[in-house]
Structure 1
Amino acid sequence: MSIKTILYNLRFKKESDHFQNWMDLFFRIINRIYQIIFNGLSGHSLLIQNTSNHSIIDNMYYTETQTTWKNADAVCFDVDSTLIQEEGIDELAKFCMKGEEVANLTKKAMGGSMTFEESLRLRLNIIKPNLGQIRDFIRMQPPKLTPGVKQLIQTLQSRQIPIYLISGGFRSIIVPIASQLNIPLENIFANRLKFYYNGEYAGFDENEPTSKSGGKSQVIQYLKEKFGYKNLVMIGDGATDLEACPPADAFIGYGGNVIREKVKSNAKWFVTDFQELNQVLKHE
């Protein structure tokens, strides 16, 4: 019987004060074992707690996620509201004078209340950006990097860890961001806008996996099969990021720009500051 199964059973068998005392001792022992295994003999954090505020199982999953992060062989970032502070499509909508209408659809999409392809099609049909507007938008309103993300990416790059950008946003807007962060353009997986010869909006490439619900999972599965990654971590703020694990080996929810309650409640590790992730890597 695995230790997870034992802990799961113990969680529901608090039958007496005697048993509670035994459990207190048991958790102190297990805490020490986990400190040795995952944090080394000098580990400081108690990763398993027998309290009403923290689920034993949740703490174990947190420990597993942190361990995968320390041993990551590839890291995938969402872009909007994760790598950058804004939702790119919302900012584009404002630029095209369609902001309020599109923002309402974005909230529904990120909360998981409609399929992603439905939301993308509806929003783009409202905006209908032409090629000139896209170029002006990129030039006049460059996106703002989230505080701490550049330092985190530099740490990952210093460890020779490949970084991928997987986004339901638009490749034309993401390319300048990737260039700023020294991320190869071939590591971008995002949607492509289509235009007629006169520059008018003609739709989006529906063959891109990121244009569909579950598309991020498809991209991650492709990366794992092509490169053999064993500890691939997905980081993001939205429902489409959460559902990409599995096949991602770990998911870290990010809430530094906006907190999605569905993501916060289901992520095994949820952070609001990239410095926390950076510190774990630097002090392992």
Structure 2
Amino acid sequence: MSLPCVLTLVANRRHGTLPKEAIDIARNLVKGEPPVVLSEGEAVDIFCPTPGPGDATPATIRAALAPYKVDAILTKTRGRRKAVLVSDMDSTIFDGETLDDLAKATGTGDYVAEITKRAMNGEMEFDESLRKRTIGLKGHPESLLKDVLEHLPFTDGIRELVQTMKANGARTALISGGFDWFTERAAKKLGFDEHYGNQLEIKDGIITGQLIGKILGPDAKKEHLETICAERGVKLSASLTTGDGANDIPMLKAAGLGIAYHAKPNVRQVIEQQVNFTGMRTHLFAQGYTAADIVTD
């Protein structure tokens, strides 16, 4: 009979292979079985008992493995593979912030970056921060959005994550507190089934600096997650969410597996499962996928 929990260790392929010493330390901490290779030199599973009082926690495991720059995700073996994926956009599927890059192009970069920082750290109400950042775009052409999109790189492994989960029957959604102008194009390129964002008003090819409709904030992200799971016919425990900012916390907490992805300090303080060194492939390894399972087309 298999053990009830599994610790997944992942190294960043760009920086080297998964050290045997890190695996040995992790096995000792969780009283685990010999490692099962998911991707040679990159990822392993260590099956282990359910942690009890005084046993290692995800936080203590991360601290022990931090010198090796190895990510560790501790999950239950039952229900590992998720039927729903909901991802944030900025600094999650994109390696950057669309609003910050737009502000740089309009000459208000420092001002907007500070607002973004405060909002993502939970120091400012999301609605207020978004309206303040949006107004600075007034009078600029829609082509500004296109220029920013062309220069924003996607996060390492994000297309593999989306396509692999879709190939295995999962429903995938991109949900952002940013603009749906970006979510629409990113979702189409990466293959997300659906997308949601805030509607930026554009008239005759010119940005008005205003938003149309209700702002999609932290609570709305969680509500979309709940709706998607209900429509898919699964419980929240069958969902995986990922994001980096304070507005992602409600959906990260609600999901069966909520992963703080290269997240802000305040997010890392409250979300147990974290990816701090590696890319999006770690979300697949945490579900028990092997390298051979990953869709790379």
Return the TM-score normalized by structure 1: 0.72
Q: Which amino acid aligns with 2:180?
A: R
Mapped to 2, the partners of 1:198 and 1:177 lie a distance apart of 20
Amino acid at match of 2:285: Q
Relative to structure 1, the CA distance from residue 84 to residue 32 in structure 2 (aligned partners, 3 Å threshold; closer, same or farther) is closer
1:182 aligns with 2:191: yes
Where do 5+ consecutive residues of structure 2 fail to align?
Answer: 1-27, 36-43, 62-72
Tell me which amino acid in the other structure corresponds to 2:265. E
Q: Distance in 1 between matches of 2:58 and 2:88?
A: 29
Q: Determine the structure 2 residue equivalent to 1:266.
A: 270
**Using the alignment, how far apart are the partners of 1:246 and 1:237 within structure 2?**
13
Map of 1:215-254 to 2, 5 A cutoff? 215-230=220-235, 231-254=238-261
Q: Note if contact 2:98-2:148 (Cα within 8 Å) is conserved in structure 1.
A: no
- Tell me how far apart the structure 1 counterparts of residues 138 and 55 of structure 2 sit (CA, whole Å): 48
Partner of 1:148: 157
Identity of aligned residues (%): 22
**Are positions 1:72 and 2:72 aligned together?**
no
Which deviations, in whole Å up to 9, do the C-alpha atoms of 1:39-60 show, x marking residues without a partner? xxx963446567979348998x
Whichever of the two has the greater Rg, that structure is: 1
SS of match in other structure, 2:201 = strand
Q: In structure 1, list runs of 5 or more residues that go unmatched.
A: 1-27, 36-41
1:223–1:253 CA distance, 2 compared to 1 (3 A) = same
Q: Give 1:223's aligned amino acid.
A: I
Q: Structure 1 pair 194/247, CA: closer, same or farther in 2 (3 Å)?
A: same
**Helix, strand or coil: the match of 1:244?**
helix
The whole-number CA distance in structure 2 between the counterparts of 1:276 and 1:173 is 25
Work out the number of aligned pairs and report it: 238
- Look up the match of 1:193: 200
- Cα gap change, 1:229 to 1:246, in 2 (>3 Å): farther
Query: Are residues 218 and 98 of structure 1, via their aligned partners in 2, closer, same or farther at CA, if it must alter by over 3 Å?
Result: same
What CA distance in whole angstroms lies between the structure 1 residues aligned with 2:227 and 2:52? Answer: 40
Cα 1:169–1:32 change in 2 (3 A) is same
- Is 1:94–2:104 an aligned residue pair? yes
SS at match of 2:192: coil
Asked if the contact 1:48–1:56 (Cα under 8 Å) also holds between the matched residues in 2, the reply is no
Q: CA deviation at 1:282?
A: 1.7
How far did residue 190 of structure 1 move? 0.6
| Bigger helix share | 1
Question: In the aligned structure 2, how far is the partner of 1:57 from the partner of 1:147?
Answer: 24
Instruction: Quote the offset at 1:277 in angstroms.
Output: 2.3
The offset of 1:136, in angstroms, is 4.2
The 8 Å contact of residues 217 and 244 in structure 1, kept in 2 or not, is answered as: yes
Counterparts in 2 of 1:73 and 1:56: CA distance versus 1, 3 Å: closer
Deviation by residue 1:74-133 (Cα, 9 ceiling, x = unmatched): 010111101110111101111222111100000000001111101101111233263434
Per-residue deviation, 1:148? 1.7
For residue 73 of structure 1, report the CA deviation from its aligned partner. 0.8
Pair 1:130-2:140 in alignment: yes
Change beyond 3 A, Cα 1:57–1:181? closer
Name the residue aligned to 1:44: 46
1:169 aligns with 2:178: yes
Distance 1:251 1:150 in 2: 19
Q: TM-score, normalised by structure 2?
A: 0.69
Residue 285 of structure 2, aligned match among 260, 279, 282: 279
- Give the structure with the higher percent strand: 2
